[in-house]
Amino acid sequence: MNARAQRLTWPIVGTVAVVVLSFVFAVWTGTDVASLIVLVSVLIVCWAVTRLSRRGMGLRWGAASHYGVALAYPCLMAALVGGAAWVTGNVVLNDAAPATVGKTLLLMFVSTMIGVLITEEGFFRGWLWGSLERSRLSPKFVLIWTAVAFTLWHVPAATVEPNFSLPPAIVPVYLANVLILGLIWGILRAVSGSVIVPTFCHSVWNALTYVFFGYGIKTKALGITAYNMFDLERGYVGLILNAIALVLFWCWWRRKITAGLPPTTS
């Protein structure tokens, strides 16, 4: 076995473990936390065995400008999709007070920031990303591998987890959006060299999506029942806008590479 194949052993093992075990335990337990438990457990084991450095994990802050992009993207997306729903008469505001919605939004952001750093972002764009970089794979391959693995890990949420599962017709749209998000957050990781930057973007995204739009078959503050059309993750409008955003992020990343973006590998 050559050196690259040896270095790829644990990334392959880790990817297969989180994808397969998450689905098995989600079906077995019928709970929506099974996938998270699997993810954090595999992360701990893989990080301990491979001894990837903090820099390799992306545990650095990144530049302030990267956080500006990470904030602007989900806010703009929420405004565009929500605005489209409003213009077409698909927004039915509930009776929740703005202060209550604001507190819920802040709580969702803070809890997600902590939670995804040690689960989704910590594994996919932290340990897995760093391990693939250490294997000397091309940046594009690292980006695609981590995004596809991220998408496959979300299959149980879309299909079998009781609090999140979707109607079958919506599942492909949701997973396509997840794939695009995995690519965009991966580009943020590549450009910034930090796993905290995509974690910040992920947290803002989840807060806006799950407080204003909803999840599974649930609606939230905006009262949009046509979520198959007007939703950031479950809708076609979100899918189209996310795809456009991905093209822009891709061009941004390529310009950074052309300009001589410093390597983030450790």
pLDDT tens for 44-73 read 999 999 999 999 999 999 999 999 999 999
Local confidence band at 142 (pLDDT 50, 70, 90 cut-offs) = very high
Number of domains in the chain: 1
pLDDT value, residue 262: 56
pLDDT value, residue 2: 65
Local confidence band at 156 (pLDDT 50, 70, 90 cut-offs) = very high
Mean pLDDT, the chain, whole residue set: 93
d(CA 64, CA 87): 34
Residue 3 has pLDDT above 80, yes or no: no
* Residue 253 within any structural domain of the chain: yes
* Residue 263 within any structural domain of the chain: no
* Residue 265 within any structural domain of the chain: no
pLDDT value, residue 260: 67
pLDDT value, residue 162: 81
Residue 251 has pLDDT above 70, yes or no: yes
* Residue 234 within any structural domain of the chain: yes
Place of tokens 């997973």: 175
Domain that residue 46 falls in: 3-258
* Residue 114 within any structural domain of the chain: yes
Q: How much of the chain exceeds pLDDT 70, in percent? A: 95
Residue 249 has pLDDT above 60, yes or no: yes
| Average pLDDT, integer, range 134-148 | 95
Q: How much of the chain exceeds pLDDT 90, in percent? A: 82
pLDDT tens for 66-115 read 999 999 999 999 999 999 999 999 999 877 778 889 999 999 999 999 99
d(CA 23, CA 11): 19
pLDDT value, residue 265: 42
* Residue 142 within any structural domain of the chain: yes
pLDDT tens for 177-219 read 999 999 999 999 999 999 999 999 999 999 999 999 999 999 9
Q: What is the 3-state secondary structure (H, E, C) of the chain?
A: CCHHHHHHHHHHHHHHHHHHHHHHHHHHHCCCCHHHHHHHHHHHHHHHHHCCCHHHHCCCCCCHHHHHHHHHHHHHHHHHHHHHHHHCCCCCCCCCCHHHHHHHHHHHHHHHHHHHHCCHHHHHHHHHHHHHHHCCCCHHHHHHHHHHHHHHHCHHHHHCCCCCCCCCCCHHHHHHHHHHHHHHHHHHHHHHCCCHHHHHHHHHHHHHHHHHHCCCCCCCCCCCCCCCCCCCCCCHHHHHHHHHHHHHHHHHHHHHHHCCCCCCCC
How far, in Å, are 11, 67, 124 from residue 128 at the CA level?
6, 22, 5
